[in-house]
Structures are given as C-alpha cells and as structure tokens.
Amino acid sequence: MLFGFAVAGGALAQESRITIEPGAISLREGVYHLDARLDVALAPQVVEALDSGVPLTFELRIEVEQKRTWLWDRSVASLLQRFQLRYHALSQRYLLVNLNSGESRSFTARDSALAALGRIQALPLIDRDLLSEDGTYEVWLQARLDLDDLPRLLRTVAYLSPEWRLVSEWEIWRINV
C-alpha cells in the first residue's frame, strides 16, 4: 500500500474520486463568490474510456439554503455547472467545455485539463441583496460525474462499477449576513 502511494500516486490513480479542497466564500462588490478547488482522479477504466473518445460530463451542484430554527431549511438558490471533458484524437489534446457558457479550452495533458476543471475561481453565487438581514445561510457544493450522460451501453456498466463512481462529499460553507 505504501509502495502504491509512493509510485507517483499510482495507487490513487487506481480508483476514481473527487474531493473538494477547502475553499472560501467572499463578498465582492455585493456578490458572494466561491473559490474552491476540486481534486479529480480518474480510474484507469475511466481514463481508457476518455482516451477512447467517450466524453465525460462533470456536474457542480451548488445549493444556497437559509437555515431556519423552527421550519425546514429554505432553498434560496441552486446552481448547476456542467463541464464536458473529451479527447480530440487529431490534435491529441483534451478539450474542456463549459456547457453552461459554451466556453472551451484544450489541454495537452489530461492532468492539466482535470486541474482546470477543478479550479473554481470567483464563481458568483448570489447577490447580497437577495439575502435577508441577520439570516444564516449555507452553501452546499457537490461535484460528480454525470453517468446519465455516458453512452447508453456504458451507462449500465458504469452504474454497477465502483470505478465509475465519481461523487464528492457535500462541502458546506456558512454565510452569516
């Protein structure tokens, strides 16, 4: 096991995982922004699929909820960011497309593409004005690989196989207005 870790994260590369590194929420110009980083590792099966031309769709689910003492929490805003990562054989580059904005970037290395995917910088969440005074809010973030977007034949295998299970834990930040 130690040997596995020692070989350049080889052991880590054996299983797929997404972890959210601790980030921060900051208020800039009346808008709350999120800065975070995702550490995405792909299992060899997933890498093989990606290199074979299978596009991978990643989702960032962001929920802003108001905490309430006597009632259940109220959802204030929800945001879904979708990214597609695929391999372009002709150019031998990885293409990362933000499906929400249509913006795309290509990378020579897969790790660079994954790093770019995991880089969340100043993502605007919600206007300060939309939050009530003295309210307590929580921002929930989860990143996952959208298996439903996989080719249908691969979908069944992906659902049943742990290598394809790419879901992060929910990361929570608290906002005290």
Partner 1 sequence: MADKRLNRRFWQAVLRLLLCCALLLSLLLLSQATQNSATFGRLHMWLLFINSATLIVLVGLILVNLWRLALQYRAGAAGSRLTARLVIMVILLSVAPGAVVYYFSTQFLRSGIDSWFDVRVEHALDDALALSQAALDQRSRDLLKRLQAVTSELEGVPDALMPYVLNEVRDGLGASEMSIVAEGGRVVASSSQDPGRIMPDPPEETVLLQLRRGLPYTSLDLGEDGGLHVRILIPIGGAGMIERERVLQALFPVPARLSRLADQVQRGYGEYRELAYLREPLKQSFMLTLSLVLLLTLLFAVWTAFYMARRIVAPVRDLVEGTRAVAAGDYGTQLPAAGHDELGFLVQSFNDMSRRVAQTREAAKRSQAQVENQRAYLETVLSRLSSGVLVLDVEGRLRTWNQAAEGILAVPLGDAVGHSLQALLDEHEHLTPLADAVMPRLREGAHDWRAEVDLEGTDGHRVLICSGAQLPGGYGTGGHVLVVEDVTTLVQAQRDAAWGEVARRLAHEIKNPLTPIQLSAERIRHKYLDRMEGRDADVLERATRTIVQQVDAMKEMVNAFSEYARPPKLVLGALDLNALLREIVELYRSNVGSARIQLRLAPDLPQVRADGNRLRQLMHNLIKNALEAVPVDPVIDISTQVRKEPDGLVVELQVSDNGPGFPAEVLSQIYEPYVTTKAKGTGLGLAIVKKIVEEHSGSIRARNSEQGAQVLVRLPVAADRGTALAKEVPL
In 30-118 the beta strands, taken as DSSP E runs, fall at 31-41, 56-66, 74-88, 93-98, 104-107
Question: Which of 5, 159 has the CB closer to partner 1?
Answer: 159
Q: Which is nearer to partner 1, 10 or 53 (CB)?
A: 53
Q: Could you list the residues that contact partner 1 (CB under 8 A)?
A: 48-49, 52-54, 88-93, 95, 102-109, 112, 151-157, 159
Pairing mode, strands 136-145 and 17-28: unpaired
To partner 1, the closest distance from the beta carbon of 43 in angstroms equals 15
Closer residue to partner 1, CB minimum distance, 76 or 97: 97
CA atoms lying within 13 Å on the CB side of residue 108: 0
**CA–CA distance, 113 with 6 (Å, rounded to integer):** 24
CB of 122 to partner 1, least distance (A): 15
Q: How far is the CB of 56 from partner 1 (least distance, A)?
A: 12
